[in-house]
Structure 1
Amino acid sequence: MIITCSREQLLEAVLNVQRAVSSKSSIPALQGILLKAKQNSIFLCGYDAEMLGMTTEIEAEVTQTGTIVLSAKLFGDIVRRLPDERVHMETDDKNMTTIRSGQSNFSIVGIPAEEYPELPTVSGERGIRISNLVLKNMIHQTIFAVAESDAKPIHTGTLFEIGSGKIRLVSVDGYRLAMREEMVNSDEQGLSFVVPGKALQEVSKLLPENDENCELQIGSRHILFIVGRYTVIARLLEGEFLDYRSAIPQKSSSTVILKTSEFISSVERVSLLITDRLKSPIRCIFDEDTVRLSSYTPIGRASDQFPAKLVGNPVEMGFNNHYLLDALRNAEGDQIKLELNGSLSPMKVLPMEGNSFLFLVLPVRLKSEAG
């Protein structure tokens, strides 16, 4: 393999692709990036052989085609520090790879490409196209509620439902639920699958904030995201996802209209006394024209309030401050609507109009404050 390419393009590709590389693997090749010199381009691939794979191609002047696997960390460190705008690479028949740029010259030992596992393939028979910006926002507004523990592995991913011209994403972790819905130009019906949160985080990083489309190709066990020059392949999670529809309260006895920014600022203020060591719920009293918040820990008390409009019965509830803030910070719009059904039923966070998002935050049982 003999190639010359742009250092900037190579660095961007290596830094992205290496995020899919396995940091610990019994197969040495999986700790590397596969490079494949084609006619006018170089193909790069990172793969952890379990959950995630990422590939891309960049332009290159290819004098001799060939393949090699190079240590992802070492190769990335070298490319990051190369001094010149152009990079020249040569690999000999003993897998020794020379990397030259300006006055810098490295020779590193590679691994034969034959030792690199093949990526799974996706037939692409089923799929949709969706705006980069829309998908990026949908992931951002649901991924915070993905479960971090693998007590129920299926909940470490986000449920995708596609049908009737809509796409819906749902994440749950036992304490909260996040749902986001958008119209999509697709004839697909009854498509339902769960994508690992780790894969969605990587897809989100690749998605540019523009109205161009990315493509999702769905197979029986894997999904392929095509974002510009990048493809991300992920293994779909298996199992029974929570019946989220039955978890969403259908009735409410109180509706609160308030300014999102005021609620966030108030929660942030009364959270100042709460730490990982000194945990305490935030007490929220939703009254006729005011929301009153307070917290109490061994180091002191805090209270705050802001105006709001209540229709229905006053309600007093307790919340984990982090879960409450996650929902509020991911809500769109200057104002939001809260639907409540007593102190122990989940709180629904909704947009003022439509149903583009729905967040559920489970309450915490409050104890009477000491002294």
Structure 2
Amino acid sequence: MKILCDRKELVEAVLNIQRAVSSKSSIPALEGILLQTKGSDLFLCGYDLEMGMTTTLPAKVEQAGSVVLSARLFGDIVRRLPGDDVSLSVDEKNVASILSGASEFSIAGIPAEEYPELPSVSGETSIEVPNGILKSMIRQTLFAVSESDMKPVHTGTLFELSENRLCLISVDGYRLAVREEPIACDQDTSFVVPGKTLSEVLKLLPDNEENLALSIGRRHILFQIGSYTLISRLLEGDFLDYRAAIPASHTTEILVKTRTFIESVERVSLLITDRLKSPLRCVFDDNRIQLSCSTAIGRASDELEAQSTGGTIEMGFNNRYLLDALRNTECDEVKIQLSGALSPMKVVPKDGGSFLFLVLPVRLKSGV
């Protein structure tokens, strides 16, 4: 194998593909990146048996071939090369020579035959979604994905396709995030994509209205994003019946400026740390919200204006969960809907119903 390619393009491809490579595996090849010539392109692949990522970049191919190189070492080398181009040649013993400018490296590779084959997705369901819309949908639901393995299916986001709409749902036992958009689709299906996969999709997605293609099989999903293909296993299990968890009605509704509310919560939260945990006390009163907290190092309180209808309600919240919900609204004003001190807080947009966030309250001790 002998190729010549642009260093910047190679660095970008390697840095992205590296994220799908297994950091520690009983199969040595999985700790590497598969490099393979395909016509006049260089094909790169990273795979950790759960998720795989591939891409191609233009190259001057003098001799076809393939090799697996250590992702960490190869990535470190190409990032530091001085020249504009990189020459990569591999001999019959899988020793790779990397040349750029005055720098030259020689590193041991692994035969490409030892690299596991990526799963294939027979496109039982295929849809197209604008990049910008899917990026926004993932960003607004990923924060509520569970980090605990207690119920593995909740470490992913539920995708629901029905009646020309796509809905994403994440839940972790303390909060719930629902985000939906109309899309052209004539099929009804649902599946759960791992949160780790969606974080990588988020990094690859550009902010434009071009479409990306999703192919959904029985056990895997494939995202085609520009020159990148990302394939991932789907999670199995019974996802929470999220519709039953959403309060059907509310007794109090507050319209508040999102940025003002976030800044107030951040100020009062200065006394709350991982070591000094304390609920954030919120009093939703006549056209105002009063916030306070008390920890071993002191007390803090703040107040902000809001438009409210309904009675006064006093509730306690985990400050981080409340902030996560507010920061991910991506709008200037939000409606807070409440139906009691121990019922979930519902956060919805001022107009329309593109998202819905639920934050479970914590029980307050009297006199705190």
Q: TM-score, normalized by length of structure 2? A: 0.99
Report the equivalent of 2:10: 10
CA distance in 2: counterparts of 1:364 and 1:192, whole angstroms:
32
SS in 2 for 1:187: coil
SS in 1 for 2:143: helix
SS in 2 for 1:342: coil
The amino acid across from 1:53 in the alignment is G
Report the equivalent of 2:45: 45
Report the equivalent of 1:23: 23
Q: How does 1:86-101 map to 2 (within 5 A)?
A: 86-101=85-100
CA distance in 2: counterparts of 1:46 and 1:265, whole angstroms:
41
Report the equivalent of 2:225: 227
SS in 2 for 1:145: coil
Deviation per CA, 1:88-112: give whole Å up to 9, x if none: 1111111111111111111111000
Q: How does 1:1-371 map to 2 (within 5 A)?
A: 1-49=1-49, 51-188=50-187, 190-369=188-367
8 Å Cα contact 1:161-1:167 kept in structure 2: yes
CA distance in 2: counterparts of 1:38 and 1:192, whole angstroms:
35
SS in 2 for 1:272: helix
1:344 shift after superposition: 0.1
8 Å Cα contact 1:141-1:178 kept in structure 2: yes
Deviation per CA, 1:166-204: give whole Å up to 9, x if none: 00000000000001000111222x210000000000000
Deviation per CA, 1:332-371: give whole Å up to 9, x if none: 321110110000000000001111000000000000235x
Q: Root-mean-square deviation (CA), in Å?
A: 0.7
1:74 shift after superposition: 0.5
CA distance in 1: counterparts of 2:228 and 2:350, whole angstroms:
37
The amino acid across from 1:36 in the alignment is Q
Deviation per CA, 1:235-283: give whole Å up to 9, x if none: 0000000000000000111111111111101100110110111100000
The amino acid across from 1:9 in the alignment is E
8 Å Cα contact 1:332-1:351 kept in structure 2: no
CA distance in 1: counterparts of 2:264 and 2:129, whole angstroms:
36
1:124 shift after superposition: 1.7
8 Å Cα contact 1:296-1:369 kept in structure 2: no
Q: Following superposition, which runs of at least 4 residues in structure 1 exceed 3 angstroms of deviation?
A: none
SS in 2 for 1:119: coil
CA distance in 2: counterparts of 1:34 and 1:233, whole angstroms:
15
CA distance in 2: counterparts of 1:324 and 1:125, whole angstroms:
39
CA distance in 1: counterparts of 2:109 and 2:367, whole angstroms:
64
CA distance in 1: counterparts of 2:39 and 2:349, whole angstroms:
52
1:125 shift after superposition: 3.1
Q: TM-score, normalized by length of structure 1? A: 0.98
SS in 2 for 1:154: helix
SS in 1 for 2:244: helix
1:54 shift after superposition: 0.2
> May I ask how many residue pairs the two structures share in their alignment?
368
SS in 2 for 1:70: strand
Where does structure 1 lack aligned partners over 5 or more consecutive residues? none
SS in 2 for 1:270: helix
SS in 2 for 1:285: strand
The amino acid across from 1:113 in the alignment is A
Where does structure 2 lack aligned partners over 5 or more consecutive residues? none
The amino acid across from 2:107 in the alignment is I
Identical-pair percentage? 64
